[in-house]
Structure 1
Amino acid sequence: MSDKKIKEKVFSTVSPLLPIPSLIDIQTKSYQWFCEKGLKELLSEIFPIKDQTGKEAELQFLDYYFDEPKYSEDESRRRNGTYEAPLRVKFRLVHHLTNQYRDQEVYFGGFPLMTPRGDFIVNGVKRAVVSQLIRSSGVYFTENVVRNKK
């Protein structure tokens, strides 16, 4: 499938006042932010992890990156697979008593990739995330009943 731009034909005699916004722009920008910054913020909240005493060993988060996806979008769809990229995370294990450390890269799993159209391919099927507005709760009324009296 190609990602050709669709030419817009305007049949109106009045030119539009505002450009038509992209409806998937929110989804793609949110996903891009999560991949670039959000995941790092999340991992930074969890790490470092210390041992029970907090004095001997510590596991520190250093960095992460995505490898190239194994299959393209079209190939993932044909194989009934998921369009994903391997997520690799770099850690450092520090042993405080000996002042030694060891850096290691860990495979964290397949990370689903968003297509330029704002959807995901899971098990060969396109899946879209649907944004929903959740109505905030209003006022709650309670009633206390003591010995059949309000």
Structure 2
Amino acid sequence: MFFYRHARHFTVPVDQAAVPQARRLARAALSDWGSALGDQLVDTIMLIVTELVTNSVLHAGDRTSCVDVTLRLRDGRLTVEVRDDHPSRPSLNGAAAGDEHGRGLYIVHHLAGERGGCVRVQTCAERPGKVVVVELETGTMMYAWRGALAEPVAVAS
């Protein structure tokens, strides 16, 4: 299969600036990849990054000094991964009407479902903690081309 792959990884410290910094870096990556994703999908990705990094800061901040974020675009799927060092898995706890927190994962699951995607949690093999992985269908295929009128080139993953 022929595909073109984009990937961006960055780490933010667990502090007040983590979420705005993660949003800024994610938006820069998506901007670098071009406008093929569309504004609505970019907004969805930004909300997912916001919710997942916020969860890591709020719930893993006592066990980790940083949060790793990876964005990947390949074969019409965009993957967002957020990793922290806290071993407990996030859960879909219900939030009462007056609660300030507790809705983030519901939002992420809903957004992923709307884009034909999924949410899963994986353990980290190389260090303690977990990775929350969100996959979204982008509705676009991106290819690498060898010359202006040449055929697609398989790009190693």
Which is strand-richer, 1 or 2?
Answer: 1
More relative contact order, 1 or 2 (CA 8 Å, 6+ apart): 2
* TM-score scaled by length of structure 1: 0.30
Per residue, is there more helix in 1 or in 2?
2
Larger radius of gyration: 1
